[in-house]
Amino acid sequence: MMRICLFPFLLIFILRHSTLASVLAASSHHLSHIGECDALLQFSNSFIFIKDASINQCDEDSSTTSYPKTASWKNGTDCCSWDGVTCHGATNYMIGLDVNCSWLRGRLHSNNSLFSLSNLRWLNLAGNDFKGSRISPRFGIFTELTHLNLSRSAFSGIIPPKISQLSSLISFDTSYNLYDDYDTDRYLEIEDHSFKWLVGNLTQLRELHVDYTDMSRVSPISLTKLPSTLSSLSLRGCKYTGPISLILGNLDHLTYLDLGYNNISDTVDFEMLAPLKNLECIYLSGNNLSMLLQSDGNCSFPKLRVLGLSGCNLTVFPYFLRSSTVMYYLDLSRNLISGRIPEWVWRVGRDTLTSLFFSSNNFTGEIPSSICQLSSLNYLDLSNNRLVGTIPGCLGKLSSLIWLVLSHNILQGPLPRSLANCTSLEIFNTSYNEIYDTFPDWLNASYSLETLDLQSNKFHGAIEISLFQLSYVILSNNNFAGQLPKDFAVNSSADFIDLANNNFEGPLPIPPRNIGFYSIANNKFNGEIPYQICSATELDVIDLSNNSLTGTIPTCFMNFFASISVLNLRANKFVGQIPEIFIPGTRLRTIRLSQNQLRGTLPRSLGYCKHLEVLDLSENELEGSFPYWLETLPNLQVLVLRSNKFSGSVDSSKTSDHPFPKLRILDLSDNRFYGPLPAKHFAKLKAMENEEKSSLRYMGDEYYQDSIVVEMKGVKIELVKILTMFTTIDFSSNFFTGEIPRVIGHLKALKGLDLSHNNLTGKIPSSMGNLTELEWLDLSSNKLNGIIPKGLADLTWLSCLNLSNNQLVGPIPQSTQFDTFDHSFDGNPRLCGHPLPKECGNDPRQTHTPALHEEEETECSNSIQWRVVLMGYGCGLSIGISTCYIMLETRRPRWLTRMVERKRARKTNGPKRNAVLGNLTWSRDRFSLFNPKRFLIIVKCSIFISGGAPEVNEMGDKARDKAWQRLCFVDALGR
């Protein structure tokens, strides 16, 4: 009863203190303030802090600087004072959380304490790494949320429909949630029904950014329901395929529109955007809008400040820009616009234009001096056109220039010295022109300069200054000469230095400690490698090839083998052994040590290079057996051991079921290998069995593409880039014996095969007719016999064939392809037919071409027959020589001697006969074994007696008797 009486008084007290009432109401549904602080700490502790979680998404790609905000959160302090936390002024409850770019890495699960903070109105989780976490349906509990930013944080999966419960949302951003940089196979997705609920319920929405969210399953009709309140819409890279008109609908308040990099192929006129008078930014890059701008029309956008139409296949200028006066960003790059740049372009945003990108078109003529009227210009890119003439000197007036990129044109003359006034210049690129000048040392006054790219011009002379502030120095493919200063770059912060293809000489410049790319290839540097180079522990690519460097390979190279991917020391004068410097876990992708004077055996530590793709050790003096232990390297694609002193058989380790699983180029030529060809390896070269049908790709990456020297069609050629579909085998100039394995016909991706200059026997396998991609085939200078398989004549890509200097027989197969080969069959006396002058005639042995199954049967039988012949050859030869000698010395058996004498007498008449018979007197001197000529006759005789001559096998009994009489007696008697 007492409790009932007190209740009205308590109710009155609460109503009088509304603030306390709201607190109590909130406490019945939400966490207390202390509870919120605890929840924040639990949220922070559920992740690890690592800079890599944010650096690619923030520091490099946006203006936001990343740092670990939550690391400063301390237990026992008021969380309202914590970095990134905003609290309500009256209630002290948390209403905002901004952990944008805070180095957070880990999974964001549905039971995370974050979802207990239901008072939130602003939530920004952008720029972190949530490792492919799903966007939880529990985000729907933030019913008071007005701003939700989940961009650039590696979310994946399907956006849940419960997001549509956030009816108060003003801004929603899930853009750029690509799991691994731009891994487009791991997009966020949104389904049609979810999108309908989203745009249907979020009636207050003003900003919708879902870039790189897969909308391929969203009906274009659903986009007509976008709320009219939208002022900013970004659907970049969403796989949208519908027309632009369905998106725009009644978006009269739109100021920002980005539909770039979709599959839009619209033919509407640009005038359809005319009603959108409030548009300030338009990005339509990466679509096929070739018909979009054909009409000049009357449309104008007086407020337009940003226009991005890159890669739209445009052929004409967007002439509606002539009315724009406040433009500050204009991108028409990667189109098909030709002719001179219109003069009126330089009046667009004359006082406001900061960024102008006209690269990769077909602009011609000179760079007009009127460009210098753009006094606010920061970024100018005219690269990849056909601009001629000199660089206008008035560009020096553009003191605000940050980027000046004029590469890939036909610009000539010297650089204007006035550019020294551009003290804010960070990137200066005039590469791939015809500029004739000395090094622009006056650029050293620009302390902001970070990238200097002068490659592929006609610069000459010496460089006498040091470049301390540069990060990227690219001077390759010029005529620079002389010695570089000792401190040229050693004290700089340069990450990329390319001095290749010049005439520099003297000692090797010492690179800075933090360098990643260092190339001085194709110069005249000499002396030993300085030990200081081993301090560059962050090296990724080091190319010292084609110089005159001496000494041994430093063992301290192992210092940077944890980071390096390319080691190129080819074409120098290095001596000694390859040191055991390769360590477990190395990232080496390419090793080129060819054309030196290296000796000894290969280091077994090469087996640690599990990422190795290219190994070129050719043209040295290396020795030892075949390095079978390399067959376990899972990524090895190129193995070149040409021109060394390797010897022995090419054996497998017998422990690997899949030796060389990715090998595509194998060159063992010009060594001392012997024994049979490695049939097991041929059977397991999976990468050579099927031609790669994908688009053309080259080995390497954008900074360094692998090259190799191969003998192709009889000529040594350097492949500056190695196509991933290029496959070849070269075993030439060794001592291989036996037959060509039939299994080689399984390597259907082969482009080239060279087995020349060996001791190969047997027939050319008919299975070679399966090598449909073969472009050159060289089997010359062997002991191959039998016919030429008809299948070789059907290889349509075969453009170079050499079967010369063998023992091939029969007619040459006739085909359009074979008719082009002039000397491919020389040195085979028993071949006949075009293009040889010898006609085949009517000899059935010459005209008969066995069928495929007949050839396969005879291969086996001939093999068995020859084994029997070889088994008896040794004994028969010894017995034959003895028999012949005794018979000639003793004239026994007399019956055989008389038979020969009578046969000779019958063939001789009259005086001539008597004279001949008179000469048939036996003489020890005439048939002495010490008479070299007669000794060879006796050997021939004994070979016939033993049955070891191949010719005997092809004769009948009578023919064999006649040959026996003629060779062993008639010739011996001096016919």
157: left (phi over 0), alpha (psi -120 to 50) or beta: left
CA angle 663, 667, 672 (to 5 degrees): 130
pLDDT at position 269 is: 63
d(CA 948, CA 959): 16
Q: What is the pLDDT of residue 888?
A: 45
Locate 405 and state its tokens: 């990129």
Low pLDDT (below 70) residues in the chain? 1-30, 59-63, 179-186, 266-272, 274, 290-299, 445, 468, 653-656, 691-696, 702, 713, 842-975
Left, alpha or beta for 255 (phi > 0: left; psi -120 to 50: alpha)? Answer: alpha
- What superfamily in CATH does domain 47-234 come from? Ribonuclease Inhibitor (3.80.10.10)
* Residue 904, CA distances (Å) to 362, 913, 973 in order: 92, 9, 10
Q: pTM of this prediction?
A: 0.76
From the list 305, 260, 321, 269, the residue with the least C-alpha distance to 290 is 269
pLDDT for position 782: 97
For 88, 589, 601, 607, 631, the CA distances from 628, given in Å and listed in that order, are 72, 19, 13, 10, 6
Residue 871's pLDDT is: 41
CA dist 562 and 866 (Å) reads: 56
The predicted structure's pLDDT at residue 290 = 61
Instruction: Please tell me the number of Cα atoms within 13 Å of 236 on its side-chain side.
Output: 21
Query: Which pLDDT score, from 0 to 100, does residue 389 have?
Result: 96
Distance of CA 208 to the CA centre of its chain: 38
Nearest to 697 by CA among 723, 663, 677: 723
Question: Which region holds residue 249: left if phi is over 0, alpha if psi is between -120 and 50, else beta?
Answer: left
* CA torsion angle 710 716 722 723 (round to 10): -90
Return the pLDDT at 902: 47
Cα–Cα distance between 657 and 705 in angstroms, integer?
A: 31
The domain locations on the chain are 47-234
Q: What residue type is 582 in one-letter code?
A: F
Q: Is 191 exposed, middle or buried (0-12, 13-18, 19+ CB in 10 A)?
A: middle
- State the pLDDT at residue 973: 34
Task: Output the pLDDT for position 572.
Answer: 97
